[in-house]
Structure 1
Amino acid sequence: MTADALLAEVEPLPHRERRRRLAALRDVAALLDDLNGRGHYERSLALSVAASVRDEASLAHIARAAHDPDAGLAATAVHLAVRYGLDPGLGDDAPSALRRAFYQAVRKWHRAGLAEALIERTGERWGAAEAAALLPACGEDTVRRRLPGLADAVPNWRTLGRAHPGPVLDHAEGTLAELPESALPAWWSRYGPGLAAAAPHAPERVLGLLERYWRTGPFPHALKRRIGLLLDADRDRTLRLLLDPGRLPGLRTVLARRAIRDRVAAFGDDDVAALARAVRDDEQALRLLLRAFPPSRRERVFALATDGRDLATAVFGDALLDVLPAAVRVREARRMLGLRRIATSPRRTWETTAFLPYDEALPVLGDLARRPDADERATGYRLLIACAGRARDPRVLTRLLETLGRLRNEQDPVRSAALGALARIPPGLLNADHAVLVAQFTDDALGARDCSYATRSALAALAALFCRQGAARSDGDLLAFGLDTYAKVAESVSLGRLERTLRRGQEHELAALMAPRLEAGRRRGDHRLALDLAAALGRRAHRLPVVQDALEAALSAREDATVRRAAALWLAPPGPRGERVARVLAGDASTIALPEVFAAVASERTDLLHLALTGAPHEGRFRAPVVPLAQPSWMRRWTAAQHRRYLLLLRRLAGDAGSREHERVQAVHLIAGVPGAGVADLERHLKYDVLRRAALTAMPWTSRPQDALPLLLSHASSDDAHVALYAAARAARYAAPSALSAVLAPVIADGKITARKEALRILLRERVPDAVAVLAAAWDAPDQHRDVRGAIASALRPRLADPVAARILAEAAAGPRDVARHVLGTHPLSLPERLRPGYAALIVRVARSTDPEAQAAAIPALGPWAPWAPDVTAVPAGLAADLDCANWREALHALVACVAGGHGADDLAAAASRLAAAPALPDAGAERDRPAEQRLAALADQVAALSHRDPRGAARVVRALEGRLPEPLAGRLAAAALRWDDPSAGPAVDALAGRRFGGVLAVRHVAAALAWSGPHLGPRPDPALALPHAARLAARGDLTGGLFACALAGEHGERAGWPAEWRALLRDLRAHPHEDVAFAAREIRTALE
């Protein structure tokens, strides 16, 4: 068959039929040659034919098509070549976009042989990042061999971990064993996705890595979704990880996941007790934990959580009480009602009473619902209805509903509150008896003169409750009542997501129940129920003829909105969509204006596309836009004639000065997406001011983006340079790298600053062979702008291994601040190990700058680089101790971070000694006041804050400062770093109490630090741990011990709920022989008036 004959034959066919015809062809060598010499559409057909036939001539054609000038066709050919085992032969000058398509195809089709054959050459020519992109497709031995050299460049660890879990875990174990502790948090953030992907392969190994190398902070984000898997693998080890005192902050988010709670429900009492004690100070987390268990176990779980706590004066929130089993809920509510702070607050009394049994609460809440004040009556109805719902007894609900007749004469706000509360009762309580009573409320509310939108909304929610329960139970009476109520209060029925709530196959029962109503609605011309039911059932409605017939009937509705919605739902099933859309258009050609109709035509029934491309509206009820909006994926299914017609309409609209500006701009963007459209199709619109930037932006999205590069670069010196250069960056991805140096040279020489910066970045990003030399020449230009130099330095950071790049970066680090700051910003894990010391030296050089702004930018970067620069901590230490340095706060922060990570303890000690020895001058000066003392106080504050989030690191800092700080600062640090669960806590507290701090106020400062010691980002230490220390301190009889005991009592006694032993201690302290201790104890209150 000739190409002309084939083109004529397939022109009138729908897309699917056209593909079938092409797939049936044989002996296509000559046909492929003929088609390949024609336009974009014909070449795309040739590629489709070759992909279907796959004989020798077809495979050869696919390999040739990988070099097609059309970017989309070339990428498709590369994908097909890899799929069918061919090497597309991209060579050493392939555009980056084509290389990226090649790597994706190699990974998708697991072409290990191809990946292993090319990985070394790829790394040499295109860099480590592109070589690492091939690793997932390589064999396991190759990955083990090459991963150590490419790890810092791996673009997607999740993909690699999924493809090669064993090598990834091996690499993680080897790397973590040698990695400095300060780099561990960043390592988990960067490499965690790879371990998460590998976890199903070897969860025990991942657990081992977490146990050894997860030091502090919340659970690594990437591994949160694997906690359930780790629990399945080894519950005890995983729980130890999660329940470590320093790791509790994220426990609430862990319990928020249903998959975790389902596993927790299977735990034994010992594990549950540990988990419950860990979350008992966090009501929200405790509530989540209780929800994991059936009501029969919740009493035991609650008892485990509160074991050791005196609940005599505890007050629980409504959310927690709601999840307690009935007996415990009632017991706690009765206890709370006996508390003075509840009894003296009417509102708290009412709210707590609502958790009692209905008959017990009725006298109080019933009286409240009859009070003269409308707000109080609304509260009474709301709480009484909630109380009846908690009974979980339909008979109680019936009794309640029978007493609500007086709502008929209530004000609307009261009625609205009551109806809203009814809509929130447990839906399983509803039955047909309740429907009769609720029907009366509905009629009364709707007949009231002051019926509000809020009341109608509450009635609609209540109707939805009945509808969903009727559907879920296949209860026709409940369903009928809900639908009847909906008809009275709302335009449409909200049935919720029935596709998720109905059991499998139950949609057929529901359809049978609804069939009479659907038919009645069709006869009345009321199709709302059919539309709402189809929307609620989702894909389940596709298999229900009664629903589909009702949707088809809705296409003839009088209301345009109904037809629009019916068309969308009727065309949703993919199988019959093509045939249905033809029927829709046969009935009314103007429905082509409906988005779902046009989408079906443009993507499937392309033989009907002429109806949308007439350029004029059809006669009928719907008015279509002159030019419909087509997605690029649809346009790739069209024929050349259809492309030409659509392009003509877009050109006409874009050039029409009478059209709205946004429509013209949209038309320009659509032109770029038409297959075969080129730069010339957009260039004609550059003459229009309103379209010029839109045209420049769209040029790299045409079929041949590389052709747009010269034109885009010609605007590098215009007012549109910033638009043109960013567009050129995309166009450059489709050009051969060897061609870029010449076309970018004029921009680098004469372009605007923004243009020069982007051009230099393009050279480096696209791996132009002489890119580094061009950047060096631009750097060395004597009159080069500082912003351009800064961009060069920033772009060359990943190329530190290149001697030229290293020279430029060294000069930049020693240069002015606007250039030096661009040396910063690279994390150690982004560079190979061998390059890290060199880069760390650059960071230190910038930090030593005499320019305060450059120095301030570099100081925060010192911490991560400390392991690779032995002298790094000397810099912040010197700055912190230099009383003339303005960046001392940043320096202190960096120094503390370094020491916490295990580096620079001697430098910190020396800096602290210098500050401690500095004279107390100027003293009360106009601009400064004892600067050395202020810096030491700031140091103590930083260490105290660090002790709350990283106790291990804080302990290192405290050890480094031992004997270097004056009192009471030294005592504050020792107190803040103390861990109550440490066996040595007792001797440490006693030693601290034996120090001389210098007066009552100084002792109270240290006492406050002691009371607040421990982690603060999660549950605080158990008060029971502090009680024996507080008692022992109080028994000393001295000022320091007494004030320490007061501070502990004020913090931990209140947290414990002031049980008898803490109150007894407080009474003893109020009788302390030292009057300052007694006064401090009297300031602490076990209860407030």
Structure 2
Amino acid sequence: MVELGRLAPTSPEVREVLGALSRGDAQERQLALFAQYGWRDGGRVLSATTDASNCVRSLAYLLVPLACDDAQALEALKVARAVRRQEGLLRGLVRAERRGVIDAYLDGLATSADVPDFADAVPLATPEGIRRHLPRALARPSLRFWNRLAHDAPGILAEVLTAQLQAVPGEPDPVTRMSLRVYLPRIADQAPDAALALFELLLSRRIHPDANAWHDLVLHRPEAAVALLQRHPHAPVFEKQFARAASRLSERALLWLVRRAPITLGDARTLLTRLSESSRRAVVEAWCAAVDVAPDWGAPLLRFVADTQERERVYARWSVAARNAEGVIPLATLTALPFDLREREARRHLQEVVALGTRPLQRMDYARLLSWDEADAALKSYLGHPEGNVRGEALASLLAIPGLRPDEPSLVDRALPLVLARKNEQDPVRAAMLGALVLWPRRVWRREHTESVGRILRDALDAADLSYRSAELAEALLLRTFARAPEWGAPWLSTLLKERGQLFNTRLGEFLTDDEVRAAAPQLLGIARGWAQRERGGPLLALMNSLGARVRLVPGLPELAVSLRDETPWPGLALGMAQWQSQHDRAGFESTVGAMVRRFHDRGWFFEIIALANSEEAARPLHPELISGLERVALRLGKESHSALTVLRSRAWRAFDALLPRLLKADASVICFPVVHTYLHRHRQELLTPYLSAPVVQGHFATGKTGWLLAFDTRGFYRWTSEQCALYSRAVGRLVEDLDRDTPTLLWGVATLAALTWAPMDGLCALADDARPVVRDKAIQVMARCDQGQGVPTLLNCLEDARARVAIYGLRRAFNGMPPGRVLSLLASVPLTKVTVAKEVVRLLGELRVEAAYERLLALDGMRLHRDVRIAMLRALWDHLEREPTWAVYARAVDDTDWVMAARLGDVPADRLTEASDRKLSALLGRVLARPEPEARIDLLQRAAWLAVRDVERTFLSACGARLASPYDDEVRAAMQALLYRSNEQDLERMEGMLDAVAPDRRALTVALEQLLALNVKSRASYMLAARAAEQVLSRDIRLSPLRVRCAAAALAPLALAERLAHMGEAGQLHADALEACQSVVGALPVGDLEAVEARLTVSGSAEARRVAVWCLVRDAAPGRGWTPERLARLVRLQQDASPLVSGAAQAVFPPREQVASAKVPSA
């Protein structure tokens, strides 16, 4: 049909044929429309958008962007809008890059006064069109508008949000804040320069963007992101915030981050690999200068510190910080240090760390960081220990030294004799020694070591207690040294295979470079030949796969693999060799694949043929010989046929298509294969006709006793002819008429009847009167799917009796695409006596874009209606929110005696309101919250924080605040959440009064403040105001001091908090419960401020405040910061405090013993 369409402009005969088809039945009209892909006659496509067939209309709308000129496309948009079908067409025009049509469409809509969804289409226009219609869209935006603007025009969205922020001095309204939270990451990713202005505005008002937005901004503008942090010290930093962008930072910005928050740069070792030499030096110097900020971050930097004194100072600080509470540093951390510092830390762990004194196994691990002689001396008593596990650990530590010092080759010559001297050790000790050798880097091994390694292997094989684990380690040792002397290693591989019966890892190629493969080629070939002669096909195949394409570096090995493939009697081995050759020796594979496939076929290896074809690279066409092999397997009609056809369909569909006629002629029963009848259903409908009438099929896969009714994908029947649809419909109809059929089959049959696009629907409509309820109801449910609305009269008749409860829901789909006037006239005749019917009629009226439908809704509102119908009425009026009668209906709902009606006001889409209607909705929502029923209030309150009402007059916000005095905890919690999320700085000036009114109800007050304290209070200025207001209220009653402490910590800077705590302590307000709150507060303070807070509290005259100073010191000395001499001195002073409340707590703090000063702690 597409080709006919291409000929139509120049061929009158073709145009006549297509004209005749376009005047035929629905299926012929669809065929004629397909020709428009080649003809592109916009007038014919536009005419088809009003066709009676839904399939034809859908295809026409798909063709509009392709075939219609601008005027025709605009007319099609108008038609689509009338039937609520414009969204798909708008997206099609965007994909076709025809946004100019959308501009014209918007220009037309702009002349109408009330277009509820006008804003939805604005972001799809051209940039000029967006800017032209933006003011009207912003007067009544929607969630879809914001989402599309973020996707299609993030730069313009940034301008809008910037303007909204600049229009107010402080925090914006809650709707703008929600938009910023949702869309700022998208803006930062797509329009980073515009995002910078937004970040600046937000941070200047103490509103913190979230981590996702920072992540995207840093990726695109890392330097500017650092500048933002420099200008706004309160802005939060995150771990690895700049890690991916570190190499693009200027040296100045990089150094600033190192000095202030090095964790933002990620792992120090990784960072160094991304920097230039000059930047690396600057980073090292900056970290040394500010080592107290993050002393445990820079271990890999220590090796680059050139100045001896500076290095000593920084190392001492790092060492203290890296220790855990027992003074221990993990071994893996120490390996990043230079050798001399490693040795110092090893000595400290071996000789000074008290906690390790009773843990010899853990302690001796650190000996591997020493020199050989020193480690040997330190481990001497353990190397001869009577317990094997202790000896093994000691030997493993000692033997690990050559691997950690690869630049000292003489260490290997000392380690290997030690292993040989202990050849009679028990197996666990042997395994520990072998495990240590295997971990050595390959570069420490030399050719002269192979003799000793051979003796070690021989000793292991001679041991009667050799375990599988030790044998595996011995083999691994051989593989790691193989490349140093292949002529030595090859016999040893054979020996291991002979004496142990198996090899754990035959993938030799993974351990060899290309040069090593060339050098070891004779030995590798010898190993392969030996395995081939002994029919060790598995190891040989593993060797081939590990070498991959490098097999060609071993002369004779490719030929050996091919000969083994062609001679082996084992199908799995032959398949593996063939797959290797296909991947790594393509020329050889293609030259031999024909003979190989024939051999596979002759030996009955049919599944191997299928597997080989399926394993071929998807991007490479299947070799003709493989296609031929698959065809022969399929034509055998054996159990492999379905698999062969499946692979053929996915990998060579043209061959599959050509095979099907022969296959069906050879055996019609293959139609039962899903891959066959599904393909015919979608692509070769002309072969399908003989099987549509449920015939009795003869063949290899059929008994010939019953007819077959095939099941097809119900979404593809539009590809069939009218005759095929009718034929299959009659067969399915006979099945549905069978009274003995099971229910699931009957339901499938009824649904299939409705899906047959071009079939007569008389049989389906007749089922609406079926005596079987399940069949009747299913038929009514699916009747609306009839392509040309054939079921609408039957559905309307069903509305007059008990079937109405099912039929009414089908009408929605049946009316889809009908002109609104036609739908309205049909609905006018529907009786409203049943609640179910009346509800759906009201909903349908609300979706009709004609004035008469709105008038009908208002008329219905004046009648006595069931509650459910009235609720449907509220929903139906959503498209008419700018009309005064709508708000009269809503006002009556708020005051209705039934609270359920009032509660439904919270469902009104507030994102589509103008400023005037927003005020009305806010006032009504406030009245809902004033109702006496808690059920009416709670759902609205729980959603209040995120409702898109701007609430300019704050009526809704005031109503939320009034609910803080509720006796219901859930309501108080939701009310406080709404207040916090919806308020700005001016709103929260009233917070103190609200909380003061609630203060007598301790429970309500606590519930409300827990909502506040669960937030990151310092992320917004308004949250901090709320916390300060709460603290002011709580200060009036000493019994509320615990909550006061938490609120003060949330609102105040650390030093200001210290002043507040000192003042409270001196006023006697830090009682036991308040001190408990102080302890949790200290755990949340920034570590960089702990010392200053401690210093202020230490000089307080309040023992309670000094007790808090103890907790500050303990946290400041936690792992990552450590017990420095200065902190130990401060601890001693606190331990000597005159108050037992302070000194008792300080004396219960236990730094590592080796760090504790020798000063005597006074007793009480």
Give matches, 1:887-906, under 5 Å: 887-898=971-982, 901-906=984-989
* Pair 959,238 (structure 1): closer, same or farther in 2 beyond 3 Å: closer
TM-score normalised over the length of structure 1: 0.74
Distance across 2 between alignment mates of 1:606 and 1:236: 62
Q: Which structure 2 residue ranges, 5 or more long, are not aligned? A: 288-293, 299-313, 384-388, 397-425, 665-675, 677-687, 1155-1164
The C-alpha deviation readout for 1:366-398, integer Å capped at 9, x for no partner, is: 704999xxxx99999699859955847473999
1:1073 aligns with 2:1138: yes
1:236 aligned residue: 226
Q: Cα gap change, 1:472/1:880 in structure 2, threshold over 3 Å: closer, same or farther?
A: farther
Q: In 2, Cα distance between the equivalents of 1:585 and 1:834?
A: 73
CA–CA separation in structure 2 for the residues paired with 1:797 and 1:841? 17
Contact 1:35 1:45 in 2 (8 A): yes
Equivalent residue, structure 1, for 2:934: 852
> Amino acid of the residue matched to residue 183 of structure 2?
Y
Between the two proteins, what is the percent identity of the paired residues? 16
Q: Which residue number corresponds to residue 996 of structure 1?
A: 1067
Distance 1:718 1:577 in 2: 66
Q: What's 2:408 paired with?
A: none
User: Pairwise mapping of residues 475-490 of structure 1 onto structure 2 (< 5 A)?
Assistant: none
Name 2:38's counterpart in structure 1: 52
Asked whether 1:63 is paired with 2:46, we answer: yes
**Structure 1 pair 108–316 and aligned structure 2 pair: CA distance change class (3 A):** farther
2:89 equivalent to 1:84: no
One-letter identity of the residue aligned with 1:108:
R
Separation in structure 2 between the aligned mates of residue 993 and residue 721 of structure 1, nearest angstrom: 73
Shift of 1:1045: 0.6
Paired AA for residue 934 in structure 1: R
Deviation at 1:82, TM superposition (A): 2.2
Deviates more, 1:775-784 or 1:414-423: 414-423
Is the 8 Å Cα contact of residues 165 and 197 (structure 1) preserved in structure 2? Answer: no
> What are the residue-to-residue correspondences of 1:805-820 with 2, within 5 Å?
805-815=886-896, 816-820=898-902
Tell me how far 1:144 sits from its aligned partner.
0.6
Distance 1:695 1:600 in 2: 41
Return the alpha-carbon distance in structure 2 between the equivalents of residues 956 and 492 of structure 1: 73
Task: Report the Cα offset of residue 35 of structure 1.
Answer: 1.6
Per-residue Cα deviation, 1:402-452 (whole angstroms, up to 9, x for no partner): 9688599779895799799999x999999979996996799599858xxxx
Report the 3-state secondary structure (helix = DSSP H, G, I; strand = E; otherwise coil) of the residue aligned with 2:1142.
Answer: helix
The correspondence of residues 62-141 of structure 1 with structure 2, limited to 5 A, is 62-86=45-69, 87-88=72-73, 89-90=75-76, 91-92=78-79, 96=83, 98-122=85-109, 131-141=118-128
Q: Secondary structure at the match of 1:844?
A: helix
1:22, CA displacement in angstroms? 6.2
Aligned counterpart in structure 2 of residue 395 of structure 1, from 445, 449, 474: 445
Per-residue deviation, 1:1027: 0.7
- Letter of the 1:153 partner, please give it: S
SS at match of 2:92: helix
Separation in structure 1 between the aligned mates of residue 512 and residue 124 of structure 2, nearest angstrom:
51
Where 1:946 maps in the other structure, the secondary structure is coil
Provide the C-alpha distance between the structure 1 equivalents of 2:1145 and 2:1138, rounded to a whole number of angstroms.
Answer: 12
- Distance in structure 2 (CA, Å) of the matches to 1:728 and 1:430: 82
**C-alpha distance in 1 between matches for 2:1054 and 2:792:** 71
Question: 1:619 and 1:479, CA in 2 relative to 1: closer, same or farther beyond 3 A?
Answer: farther
Conserved 8 A contact 1:772-1:805: no
CA distance in 1, matches of 2:331, 2:751: 52
Q: What TM-score do the two structures reach when normalised by structure 2?
A: 0.70
Q: CA deviation at 1:553?
A: 6.7
Asked if the contact 2:845/2:876 (under 8 Å) is kept, the reply is no
Q: 1:506 to 1:292 in 2, by over 3 A?
A: farther
Q: 1:199 to 1:889 in 2, by over 3 A?
A: closer
* Aligned CA distance change for structure 1 residues 938 and 168 (closer, same or farther; 3 Å): closer
CA shift for structure 1 position 694: 6.9
Q: Are 2:328 and 2:349, in contact at CA under 8 Å, matched by a contact in 1?
A: no
Give the alignment partner of residue 264 of structure 1, picking from 221, 246, 251.
Answer: 246
- Give, as a single letter, the amino acid of the residue that structure 1 aligns with 2:1094: A
Are residue 42 (structure 1) and residue 28 (structure 2) matched?
yes
**Are the structure 2 counterparts of residues 576 and 561 from structure 1 closer, same or farther at C-alpha, using a change threshold of 3 Å?**
closer
- CA apart distance, 1:742: 4.6
Instruction: Select the residue among 588, 591, 598 that pairs with 2:634.
Output: 588
- Cα 1:661–1:153 change in 2 (3 A) is same
Q: Deviations over 1:705-734 (max 9, x none)?
A: x54556567778999989876665455444
Structure 1 residue 1030 displacement after superposition: 0.6
Aligned to 2:1159: none
Query: In 2, Cα distance between the equivalents of 1:351 and 1:695?
Result: 78
Report deviation, 1:850.
0.6
**In the alignment, is the contact (CA less than 8 A) between 1:912 and 1:936 conserved in 2?**
yes
Report the Cα distance in structure 2 between the residues aligned to 1:1083 and 1:761, rounded to whole angstroms: 72
Distance in 2 of aligned mates of 1:422 and 1:727:
74
User: Higher mean Cα deviation, 1033-1042 or 519-528?
Assistant: 519-528
Partner Cα distance (2:844, 2:495) in 1 = 71
CA distance in 2, matches of 1:124, 1:495: 75
Counterpart check, 1:790 vs 2:871: yes
> 2: distance between equivalents of 1:319 and 1:618?
75
Match of 1:30, SS state, is helix
Q: Residues of 1 paired with 2:544 and 2:794: CA distance?
A: 56
> In structure 2, what is the equivalent of residue 822 of structure 1?
904
Change in CA separation of 1:673 and 1:1005 when aligned onto 2, cut-off 3 Å: same
For the Cα contact (< 8 Å) 1:1007–1:1044, is it kept in 2? yes
- Preserved CA contact (<8 Å) 1:879 1:885: no
Change (3 A) 1:211 1:829: farther
Q: Which residue of 2 aligns with 1:367?
A: 392
Aligned with 1:749: secondary structure?
A: coil
The 2-side partners of 1:792 and 1:379 are apart by 84
Relative to structure 1, the CA distance from residue 738 to residue 1050 in structure 2 (aligned partners, 3 Å threshold; closer, same or farther) is farther
Residues 330-381 of structure 1, C-alpha deviations (whole Å, 9 max, x = no match): 679848955555665678668888999999799789704999xxxx999996
Displacement after TM superposition at 1:76 (Å): 2.7
Q: In structure 2, do the counterparts of structure 1 residues 1060 and 135 end up closer, same or farther at CA, with 3 Å as the change threshold? A: same
SS state at 2:43 partner: helix
Q: Cα 1:841–1:936, aligned 2, differ >3 Å: closer, same or farther? A: same
Question: In the aligned structure 2, how far is the partner of 1:698 from the partner of 1:473?
Answer: 72
Contact 1:715/1:724 (<8 A) preserved: yes
**Amino acid paired to 1:1043:** R
Residue of structure 1 in register with 2:758 after alignment: 676
Q: 2:1161 matched to which residue of 1?
A: none
1:875 matches 2:959: yes
Q: Distance in 2 between matches of 1:600 and 1:627?
A: 29
Tell me, in whole angstroms, the C-alpha distance in 1 between the residues paired with 2:555 and 2:815: 57
| Residue number in structure 2 paired with 1:960 | 1029
Q: In 2, are the aligned partners of 1:650 and 1:671 still within 8 Å (CA)? A: yes
Q: What RMSD in Å do the two structures reach over aligned CA positions?
A: 6.2
Q: What's 2:323 paired with?
A: 313
Is contact 1:715–1:721 with CA below 8 Å preserved after alignment?
A: yes
Shift of 1:161: 4.7
Shift of 1:110: 2.3
Cα displacement (A) at 1:1081: 2.3
Q: CA deviation at 1:956?
A: 0.4
The number of residue pairs the alignment matches comes to 1012
1:913 aligned partner: 996
Cα 1:522–1:198 change in 2 (3 A) is: same
2:751·2:782 contact (CA, 8 Å) conserved in 1?
Answer: yes
One-letter identity of the residue aligned with 1:1001: A
User: CA 1:53–1:1038 in 2, change beyond 3 Å: closer, same or farther?
Assistant: closer
Letter in 1 for 2:144: P
CA shift at 1:73, angstroms? 3.1
Q: CA deviation at 1:1003?
A: 4.7
Q: 1:93/1:100 Cα in 2 relative to 1: closer, same or farther (>3 Å)? A: closer
Q: How has the CA–CA distance of structure 1 residues 1085 and 191 changed in structure 2, closer, same or farther, with 3 Å as cutoff?
A: same
Q: Which ranges in structure 1 are unaligned for 5 or more consecutive residues?
A: 1-17, 449-455, 919-931, 1015-1020
Query: What are the Cα deviations for residues 88-117 of structure 1, in whole angstroms up to 9, with x where unaligned?
Result: 533457664642332122211222332122
- Which amino acid in 2 is paired with 1:736? P
Give, as a single letter, the amino acid of the residue that structure 2 aligns with 1:1030.
Answer: E
- The yes-or-no answer on 1:802 pairing with 2:883 is yes
Alpha-carbon distance, 1:1052 to partner: 3.0
